[in-house]
Amino acid sequence: MNIDPITRRKFIKTTGAAGVASLLANVPVVHGKHHSDKVKVGLIGLGGRGCGAGIINCAEADTNIELVAIGDLFKNHLDEAEARIKGNMELKKLPFDKIYKVNNENKFHGFDAYQKVIDSDVDLIILTTPPVFRPLHFRAAVEAGKHCFLEKPAAVDPKGVKHIIETSKMAEKKGLTVISGTQMRRGRHFLALVDQVRSGAIGAIMSGQSTRLGGALSNWREHESVRRPEWSDMEWQLRRWLFCTWSSGDFIVEQHVHNLDIVDWIMGEHPVKVIGTGGRQSRTSPAYPNVWDNISVEYEYPNGARITHLGAQMDGISGRNDLVMHGTKGQLKSSFSNASIAAKKSWEYEGPTPNPAVVEYADTLDSIRNSKAINEGAQIAQSTMTAILGRMAAYSGRALKWDWAMNASKLDLTPKEWKFGPHELREVAVPGITKLV
């Protein structure tokens, strides 16, 4: 794979987007319309996201779809999928019998399940597997000429990010739609906020604080939280993938990419430097193989602005999820549900708030039906890399530049071979001791 060095200027050129005002004008409010032509869907990854928000939000956007093929690494997840999807659709009063058209021949499990779903008669592939698989599965789908919905994040290391960028270019040449699961890009209040910022409402942004504090996710797959004797290293780690850095990217990448995506979006570019630290105090049981539970990073952007991100996943702490940015003329505040500006001319969003997680699927289906490809591959690659950059700096305790991480780092967390058996797990990172690779 030959990839040119990724500089800041090249990345911005690659990820250039339409004006925010036009995006705001065209964001659809979902009315549950039915269309004349069905879109056939293949679902890869049958965990909580795949059987939940993945296919459910897609069906909420438009019930004139058919789920025709499903796949997962684990057979028990495959066996449980139909009942889980049915239950979730019934909660939303969605027509399960009309949408779910998966026969036994189109149910797959194992490391090659993704390819079998892709090779089925599907138009759209929804990728909700652990992030370490995203570059591999995305490439296979694009090579097969399938439209893709990529759940966030897009990778777990710089090598994977570069792979996503290259595959996105392939998708563009083929006229394929690639939508990413950073749904806040379609939040009406965020679109309006970004429009305000672009119009100069707070002047040049000089500093900011992004914060996301929440629980430890201690109930996640609780029935698989104790290792069974028959599970190999690889199987155990993939059943607990959320808590292994190599498979999830750690929580700053796996979850807080949403927050960092918003920061990059508002800033209009990615950071050039970062420094950070963190660790784990509460996630010390074997159920959490090697991820952290707290992190603090400071990103520096090309204009000199410094934006901090404080993150934690710890039970018993106060919860918070917001962003504050300070400009030369005022200040913005936002969360996942509202946005406001304090300046000479104050502003607060008061418009409609359709669910952006549904809107992103409405856009996906509309683009497929009307042959108007949308490609967000480079965009999610940038946001993913911003999160990875923060993790690399914090894990090592070393100041780090974007260009070094993208062009010189040799970090590759992907296993050399996909099979159950022995798989060494890296030690929990310790700032000042863990080395940059």
Whole-number Å distance between alpha carbons of 330 and 343? 4
In the chain, which segments carry CATH 3.40.50.720?
A: 8-185+357-379
pLDDT, residue 323, reads 99
245 in Cβ contact with 130 (< 8 Å): no
| Total-model pTM | 0.93
Asked if residue 346 has pLDDT above 50, the reply is yes
pLDDT tens string 184-204: 999 999 999 999 999 999 999
Whole-number Å distance between alpha carbons of 290 and 131? 16
pLDDT, residue 405, reads 99
Specify the range with the lowest mean pLDDT, choosing from 20-29, 47-56, 226-235: 20-29
Count Cβ neighbours within 10 Å for each residue of 349-376 and write b for 16 or more, e otherwise. Answer: beeeebbbbbbbbbbbbbbbbeeeebbb
In the chain, which segments carry CATH 3.30.360.10?
A: 201-353+384-407
Percent of the chain with pLDDT over 90: 92
pLDDT, residue 11, reads 52
Instruction: For the chain, give the mean pLDDT.
Output: 93
| Structure-token pair, residue 248 | 């999830």
Asked if residue 120 has pLDDT above 80, the reply is yes
Averaged pLDDT for residues 172-186: 98
Averaged pLDDT for residues 197-221: 98
Going 185 to 189 to 195 to 200, the CA torsion angle's sign is negative
Tell me the CATH number for domain 8-185+357-379: 3.40.50.720
pLDDT, residue 328, reads 98
Averaged pLDDT for residues 144-156: 99
Assign domain 201-353+384-407 one CATH number from 3.40.50.300, 3.90.1720.10, 3.30.360.10, 3.30.70.260. 3.30.360.10
Averaged pLDDT for residues 51-59: 97
Residue 79: φ, ψ to 5° = -65, -30
pLDDT, residue 37, reads 87
Count Cβ neighbours within 10 Å for each residue of 90-111 and write b for 16 or more, e otherwise. Answer: eeeebebeebbebeeebbbbbe
Asked if residue 5 has pLDDT above 70, the reply is no
pLDDT, residue 19, reads 40
pLDDT tens string 386-432: 999 999 999 999 999 999 999 999 999 999 999 999 999 999 999 99
- Which residues does 83 contact at the CB level (< 8 Å), separation at least 6? none
Asked if residue 381 has pLDDT above 70, the reply is yes
Averaged pLDDT for residues 202-227: 97
**Choice between 113 and 26, residue whose per-residue pLDDT is larger:** 113
Going 35 to 41 to 46 to 50, the CA torsion angle's sign is negative
Query: Cα 419 to chain center, whole Å?
Result: 25
pLDDT, residue 376, reads 99
Q: How confident is the model at residue 28 (pLDDT cuts 50, 70, 90)?
A: very low
Averaged pLDDT for residues 89-110: 98
